[in-house]
Structure 1
Amino acid sequence: MTERIMAVNPPGVFAGTRLAKLFFCAAACVLVAELIGTLTIPLGGKLQIILMPLLWALLIGAVWGISSPRLPQALQIDRKMQVLSAAVLQPALLIFVAKLGLLVGGNLPTILQSGWALAFQELGHFFGTMVFGLPLALLLGIKREAIGATFSVGREPSLAIIGEKYGMDSPEGHGVLAEYITGTIFGAAFIAIFAGLIASLGIFNPLALAMGAGVGSGSMMAAASGAIAAQETPEVAKQVAAFAAAANLVTVTIGTYFTLFLSLPFTVWLYGKLEPVLGRTRAISSVAWDKGLQRETSENLPQLSAVHLLAIWLASGLMALFGNWYSYKAWPDREILAGLAIIVAVVAVGFAIYRLTKNALPAVLFVSLIAMVLTYPGVPYADAVSVSTGKINFLALATPVIAYAGLSIAKDVPVFRKLGWRIVLVSLVANAGTFIGATLIAQFFVHPHI
């Protein structure tokens, strides 16, 4: 997750009323999503699709934004609101990260027992995208755009790597931007459905699936781990969340260097070997592109002050309490409110350290480390912290975050229309590949030892 959140907010960036309206819209999405609840669609045999509240929140927010021009003005979510929602998504994710860190701390001895599983699953994340996506891209006629689209799951670090090495106006830059937009619009929904389908087969250890869910995107990790956890017992579901968080933290921190020095060079090498064979029937690239695409995808996010950040964390936490009560039957009593206060405090302290260190390392790292320390066995008051924060379900905290993502989607639809269907298909296959690749490697090491 690229940290573009600023501590100082210049006058006139956006009004507080716009932020308040965004909270209202996100809360409405969460309310309706939780009331719909979790639906299971059987597909025959063991296969099934799990549709959770966080997926409903994503879809409701997306439909709301796309249909806004036809709604009364008071209910419209204009482009400025959509851009603001994208900016709010980043700090809101830290609430979810803190909750997962608290789960990781208590489960850290078990996670450490996984040993090589957690270390080597990273190979699957970064080579899975290329192994599955690159051949398909070449068969569909995509040329060097395939490198940018398949060397990694195209989130912000991937944009930075390709931009520095090739430039964003290059074919490789076009490819990674196409992957980025496709992942933004469809990533969470697709990976939730796909991970749920794979989990329903019953052939993989749920902890291996959890490590596969740590793809390096907070929203996609939340969606995938939620779909897996929904099919497990409450105790196993907590372990799924913890392992997914640990894998995601590895991907976010060391994964960038892994991508830069291993997966990108290997993808370039493999492209040189496969393109003359698989791409020989296609003479030109199939990626629709124009000069305005890069400009439209690089819009600056609003800057957020410390007051705005605190409001985002509190509002998102309070939204989560409704789902925690309605879906998980935990009334927000004094202990749960104390747990929410601890989570917000962990985020605030972790983000403050991030700022004091001049953004040297990602904020998610500091937030995760503080949370893990608080619940690590043997640390004073670790049990009390675990009990109070443990009463807040991690999926309830994920739903408001995904709602922000949904409300931001409409701004990317015009860009998405400029992309060819081939690059979209390749992007989805690459996302599936990173999940399957990491799960397969983790399964080899984790089964049956954990």
Structure 2
Amino acid sequence: MDKKALLNWKVHALAIVLSVIAELIGITRFTTGIGVILFLPLLYAFIMALAFNENVVPSVGKHLGQHSSHIASQWVLIGIMPFIAKFGVGIGPNIDKIIAAGPALLLQEIGNVATALFALPVAVLLFKMGREAIGATHSIAREPNIALVADKYGLKSAEGVGVMGVYVMGTLFGTIYFSIMAGLFASWDLFDYRALAMACGVGSGSMMGACSAALGEVLPQFKEDIAAFAASSNLLTYATGLFVSVFVALPFTEALYKLLKSFSKGKGEEHSELAQLTAQNGADYTEEKEVSLSITETALALILSSFVGLIVNWVNTPANDILTALPGMAIFWGCSLIGLVIYKFVKIGVPAVAWISTVAIIISLPQFPFSAQVAEYTAKVGFLPLLTPVLAYAGLAISKMEIKLFKAAGFKIALVALLAFTGTYVGSVIIAQVML
């Protein structure tokens, strides 16, 4: 796939149309016996996009042209950058509150060991999984965790099969699940809103955004604070999450696995059902590589992504038309570009989104000369309208490998993944609540 393919107008036009439709549908609330369940526009955008994915519905997807899923995949990464900047500018004005909650922010990451507590017993005792359960349940299996498992065990190992299985489930359902789960927790009125917000910082921009957006809809009086705490927690997770996985979560999961396996009379480690199914279905982790873009090319790509965001933002809030919201979006574009430049030249293992968030935080601090203008302009761009197109691209981006692994693993790995996500959130909420 060459760089010109990234400008496939059909992919972008479809993402805009689906995002606009999703925003027009709006937020749907269901009051049930267990609380309030929210369906955000991002859910509708994702589901509708699946119907046009070349790997899900080939007869429809072929009309988008070759490599449409790979093109959409790269635009997910580009589209998330202004969204991360939006969250970053919400931290500066609330810096005093965040500093006051510092211990809770730092320590809630340890709550991630609940990921294994929730998911590992089901994986080993009920589903008779082998060592792939370690890879599947030690974390929510985002990119740093995949790198850790790949380095320690290899992606073709049983542990590698597990971590990739949950990664796929996170790609398919993670963002949507976190939005539903967070809204439900908020409706119970059991936890401090700050604890609920901190737990949203799971190391994934889209999951964090969906989680905090749902909280903001249920608790609108704390909307800005929720965004600030969630973004701060997510930024800390980028810095500390891998170390927690290396020194706490993975060793804990290994030890718990051995304990549970001693009670299990299931299949042996080398011949677990998930590993066999994956091998039989030919799940392959070698995907087409992303197109490498220069800083200039990325800057131009960000302009296109920002334009998409401006259109969807206008539909979401008619008062904020494209010209009204343009200065705020330009600020997000600048933060994204500066963060990318820092990432390119400062090679210390910090992800680009963390640099983008840091730049956004700095320009929003009260001490920054133009922080009042930054707050005024960026307020014209909403959180959800920036995330909805990202989920539209994500629906178009589902790959053949992800479809294969989903078919191979079936409902078992899906349930284990959802339990892992639940454990991560619940554990972090409890730790943060205790520390506040």
TM-score (ref. length: structure 1): 0.90
2:163 alignment partner, one of 176, 179, 187: 176
After superposition, what is the alpha-carbon deviation per residue over 1:308-365, rounded to whole angstroms, capped at 9, x for unaligned? 4224322332222233333334322655211111110111111011112246421112
Q: Does 1:129 find its partner at 2:118?
A: no
| SS across alignment from 1:295 | coil
Amino acid across the alignment from 1:380: P
Aligned-pair CA distance for 1:172: 0.9
What is the distance in 2 between the residues matched to 1:176 and 1:253?
Answer: 21
What is the distance in 2 between the residues matched to 1:333 and 1:295?
Answer: 43
Q: Does 1:217 find its partner at 2:204?
A: yes
Contact residue 13 and residue 303 of structure 1 kept, 8 A: no
Q: Does 1:398 find its partner at 2:398?
A: no
Contact residue 14 and residue 302 of structure 1 kept, 8 A: yes
Contact residue 281 and residue 404 of structure 2 kept, 8 A: no
After superposition, what is the alpha-carbon deviation per residue over 1:171-202, rounded to whole angstroms, capped at 9, x for unaligned? 11111111111111111122222222222222
Contact residue 30 and residue 319 of structure 1 kept, 8 A: no
| SS across alignment from 1:71 | helix
What is the distance in 2 between the residues matched to 1:260 and 1:308?
Answer: 36
Amino acid across the alignment from 1:83: H
CA gap 1:297/1:28 in 2 versus in 1, 3 angstroms: farther
2:52 alignment partner, one of 61, 64, 80: 64
Aligned-pair CA distance for 1:305: 3.7
5+ residue gaps, structure 1, are 1-11
5+ residue gaps, structure 2, are none
| SS across alignment from 1:419 | helix
User: How many residue pairs get matched?
Assistant: 429
**What is aligned with 1:430?**
420
Q: Does 1:92 find its partner at 2:79?
A: yes
What is the distance in 1 between the residues matched to 2:96 and 2:85?
Answer: 18
CA gap 1:84/1:426 in 2 versus in 1, 3 angstroms: same
Contact residue 99 and residue 371 of structure 1 kept, 8 A: yes
Q: Does 1:37 find its partner at 2:26?
A: yes
**What is aligned with 1:275?**
261
2:371 alignment partner, one of 367, 371, 382: 382
Contact residue 89 and residue 364 of structure 2 kept, 8 A: yes
Amino acid across the alignment from 1:48: V
**What is aligned with 1:20?**
9
**What is aligned with 1:188?**
175
| SS across alignment from 2:89 | helix
**What is aligned with 1:421?**
411
Contact residue 199 and residue 228 of structure 1 kept, 8 A: yes
CA gap 1:207/1:31 in 2 versus in 1, 3 angstroms: same
**What is aligned with 2:320?**
331
CA gap 1:334/1:300 in 2 versus in 1, 3 angstroms: closer
CA gap 1:400/1:339 in 2 versus in 1, 3 angstroms: same
Amino acid across the alignment from 1:203: L
CA gap 1:92/1:327 in 2 versus in 1, 3 angstroms: closer
What is the distance in 2 between the residues matched to 1:160 and 1:443?
Answer: 31
TM-score (ref. length: structure 2): 0.92
What is the distance in 2 between the residues matched to 1:398 and 1:443?
Answer: 28
Q: Does 1:239 find its partner at 2:236?
A: no
**What is aligned with 1:9?**
none
CA gap 1:227/1:306 in 2 versus in 1, 3 angstroms: same
Contact residue 316 and residue 397 of structure 1 kept, 8 A: no
CA gap 1:19/1:104 in 2 versus in 1, 3 angstroms: farther
What is the distance in 2 between the residues matched to 1:356 and 1:15?
Answer: 26
How many percent of aligned residue pairs carry the same amino acid?
A: 35
User: C-alpha root-mean-square deviation of aligned residues, in Å?
Assistant: 2.1
After superposition, what is the alpha-carbon deviation per residue over 1:107-150, rounded to whole angstroms, capped at 9, x for unaligned? 111111112110111011x2121111111111120111110000
What is the distance in 2 between the residues matched to 1:64 and 1:85?
Answer: 11
Aligned-pair CA distance for 1:282: 4.5
CA gap 1:316/1:130 in 2 versus in 1, 3 angstroms: same
